[in-house]
Chains A and B, each alone.
Chain A
């Protein structure tokens, strides 16, 4: 499968399509995680349509963004398109990712993705395999203690083939991240744990491209500043748009905005 060059316009078109399909999928399954999916669309599109090749692995540590992962895998041709119609049906795609059909690692409980990435990266080293392991975390997720256990392990084994990306959208379940537990020091923390830290605009393809191209002997973390609900104005304006089921009016409004 051929990857696209980092042409922001081309990737922008894909992101637009992904957002449309994402809104439809979330509506079909009454998913409560639309806004935290919308914030990381550019990140997943960059990885799956441009950066990653067949040697690379991706882990969605923020498993609640599964609807986005399903849409991206389906748009990329890795997951059969018909699978999306099984979303949240018995025996079909779950609200959080299971295993198979392009999904490398089952997730859904937060804080565990970097540890799993470290395991995949160590196996690559033992097997002298090329390729890189990417893991996407939420910023709220960084409250989990295991993040810091795994950050220290990646550093101990100098896992230069691991890149963590933090979707820094500033909101977690109970409210703004800085109110729940301060996270503005994430960069300093990761530096202290021996990681290469790169700050990027997570909704901008060029910025993501530069961040993903940084070479380092250390494990890398991209703190990707994003906007929660990106692309749908009324969700962007309301950080509390979280668990709610979308009304028909909201759905029509979102589709209209994304099709414009």
Chain B
């Protein structure tokens, strides 16, 4: 099995052929795999030590001078520089790419202090930012390349450790969700490591005669509202993310649906609480983030759809 961080590190090294690319790290280059870039292009790699506020402000300076800075650290520590990112990078729409590793619960052993469950909300609220949460190593690699070619600031959250490979295609673009399967009864919108869980949920639901669509929203911002609307025609929606249900993918989808085509939404995610130490599978079970939980949420959404129908038929 491959890892997202490794794919990111290798893709970054490849993108390093572009001499404008510079990489900044805060004493985590081995964990974030920016060490690959560092060994190929040492003159364009800067390690500021354990100083994330300095890291992001320095990235801003490099971007103002025309460089394409990629700043990397763990997701939880990227938020430590949030105000710096907001006031300089976001406000001036600078070309800084933030790759935040060990996102969600994937720093499982380290516990709540290291588990970033709020970062999508924090970065989604920043004007000019694109927010990415890739779902497998190959997609991570492609989106790393796309991000370095794109204009404007990007925040990408990556899982730590070995992850399932979902894709053989390389056809990914920022802002274009990937439709894995269409379904006619319910649509599951997922991002990051919840995408393979959503695929598992689809298989479970199929056995019960429910046809569930699965869409990989690797780009949470800008949100492709057309895809949301199209999938909402099933009349029942489930969102799944390894993030708080406040402000993340679920919120983004609900905001869109409320405007465009209101329908029942069930959100699978962390329920306004912190993580804890455990194995990743134990944590997924504890916080309700397994395929089974997504399948159950789908049935709840279906039930609400039916209630609404019965209500209308009864009149």
Contacts and interface: CB of A to CB of B under 8 A. Distances in A.
Interface in A133-168: 145-146, 149-150, 152-153, 156-157
B256 to A, nearest CB: 29
Interface string B58-72: 111111111101000
Nearest to A127: B65
Contacts of B63: 119
A99 B91 contact: yes
Contact of A124 (B58, B60, B65): B65
Contact of A118 (B44, B61, B87): B61
B53 A112 contact: yes
A115 B64 contact: no
A106 B65 contact: no
Contacts of A211: none
Contacts, number: 100
Interface in A109-131: 109, 111-112, 115-124, 126-127
Interface in B61-94: 61-67, 69, 83-84, 87-88, 91-92
Contacts of A145: 53
Contact of A126 (B43, B49, B53, B92): B43
A149 B51 contact: yes
Interface residues of A, number: 30
Contacts of A105: 60-61, 64, 88, 92
B65 A123 contact: yes
Interface string B151-171: 000000000000000000000
A146 B61 contact: no
Interface in A75-122: 98-99, 104-109, 111-112, 115-122
Interface string B3-31: 00000000000000000001000000000
Given A112-B53, A115-B54, A126-B67, A120 B22 contact: no
A120 B64 CA distance: 7
B65 A120 contact: yes
B48 interface: yes
Chain A interface mostly? helix
Contact of B57 (A104, A122, A150, A157): A150
Contact of B48 (A108, A124, A153): A153
B46 interface: yes
Contact of A115 (B49, B57, B65, B92): B57
Given A116-B57, A119-B59, A152 B49 contact: yes
Contacts of B57: 112, 115-116, 119, 146, 150
Given A126-B44, A126-B67, A115 B61 contact: yes
Nearest to B58: A119
Contacts of B22: 122-123, 126
A115 B64 CA distance: 12
Contact of A116 (B58, B66, B91): B58
Interface in B241-282: none
Contact of B49 (A106, A107, A146, A153): A153
Contact of B92 (A98, A117, A123): A98
Interface of A: 98-99, 104-109, 111-112, 115-124, 126-127, 145-146, 149-150, 152-153, 156-157
Interface of B: 22, 43-44, 46, 48-49, 51, 53-54, 57-67, 69, 83-84, 87-88, 91-92
Given A99-B91, A105-B64, A150-B54, 15 more contacts: A98-B92, A104-B64, A105-B92, A106-B87, A112-B53, A115-B61, A118-B58, A119-B63, A123-B66, A123-B67, A124-B65, A126-B22, A146-B84, A149-B49, A152-B49
6 contacts: A112-B84, A112-B87, A115-B53, A116-B64, A123-B61, A123-B65
